[in-house]
Amino acid sequence: MEYSKYLFQTCAQFIILCVAVLNSEELVFDDGGWSSGSEVRIRDEGHCNIDVLDGSSLSYQLFMERFAFQRPVILRGLTNNTRFRSSCSRSSLLQDYGDRTVRLSTANTHSYKKVDVSFRTYVDVFLRPQSVDALGNDTLYFFGDNNFTEWEGLFDQYEPPPYILPQTSGAYSFGIAGPGTGVPFHWHGPGYSEVIYGRKRWFLYPPHKEPHFHPNHTTLSWVMNTYPYLPLEEAPLECTIRPGEILYFPDRWWHATLNLDTSVFISTFLG
């Protein structure tokens, strides 16, 4: 009864963006055990105005000429991470890493607050839907800050995208987050992001076009309160990526993310 009351309140905060799903035929996919039978999921995937290509049809030369330094692209079938995906199921990660310490970060563009908890505590206590009125400083997010030595066994199973920019090497950042969570707009060097479970909606702007946002407001708040009223000339590039799809973003591109489900994801930063 208490859980049903909590679920109703959370959905009310999402207004029209979320739906309580119980054996729904609309959003049926392998969730790796990360979703309960009645989890809140965000319905609206938005539209997609980013190129989506079959990875087998994109040569390295074409990638460098058209995308590496110019614009984002989404690639399908570029790698096969079936083994890694299996290792990222809820039961597997809790069994192998449940007692390991993870470092959580606040979802604030300019905040450096960190909180250390066990991975099991994060999953049991912090991995929950985001309310629309929560501030970034109050949102603890597991992404990046992985102890590479402790997680090396998992990362060794990951097949990264094969296209590396000249004079760069890849560094992994692994994360798990609940529906409605995400990082607000920020920028850094180029990289890839792959969804393992769930769906993740991306919003991007080129370096010269800084978006209007509050650094302590969440992406969910921006989507509900700012995004619908943007003039056409301020509209972002955007798309929702699903398991097996990889987004590439060039250097210094502004980007924000919104997890539509409980999502497991990994990024390869090129530096």
Topology adopted by domain 52-270: Jelly Rolls (2.60.120)
Res 218: pLDDT: 93
Res 39: pLDDT: 62
1, pLDDT greater than 50: no
* pLDDT, tens only, 161-184: 999 999 999 999 999 999 999 999
Residues above pLDDT 70, as percent of the chain:
88
211, pLDDT greater than 80: yes
> Residue 233: left if φ>0, alpha if ψ -120 to 50, beta else—which one?
alpha
For residues 203-209, average pLDDT: 98
Q: 264 and 142 in contact (C-beta within 8 Å)?
A: no
Q: What is the rounded average pLDDT for all residues in the chain? A: 87
138 compared with 199, residue with greater pLDDT: 199
**Closest by CA position to 173, among listed 145, 153, 141:** 145
For residues 121-144, average pLDDT: 89
Give start and end residues of each alpha helix (H) in 40-118. Answer: 60-66, 82-87, 90-97
246, pLDDT greater than 90: yes
Give start and end residues of each alpha helix (H) in the chain. Answer: 2-14, 60-66, 82-87, 90-97, 119-121, 148-155, 219-225
For residues 177-205, average pLDDT: 96
3-state secondary structure of 25: coil
The structural domains of the chain, with segments of one domain joined by +, span 52-270
How confident is residue 28, by pLDDT bands cut at 50, 70 and 90? very low
What six digits make up the tokens of 155?
Answer: 């990362």
For residues 89-101, average pLDDT: 96
224, pLDDT greater than 90: yes
How confident is residue 270, by pLDDT bands cut at 50, 70 and 90? very high
How confident is residue 199, by pLDDT bands cut at 50, 70 and 90? very high
12, pLDDT greater than 60: no
207, pLDDT greater than 60: yes
For residues 60-88, average pLDDT: 96
137, pLDDT greater than 90: no
Tracing tokens 């679920």 back to the chain, one arrives at: 7
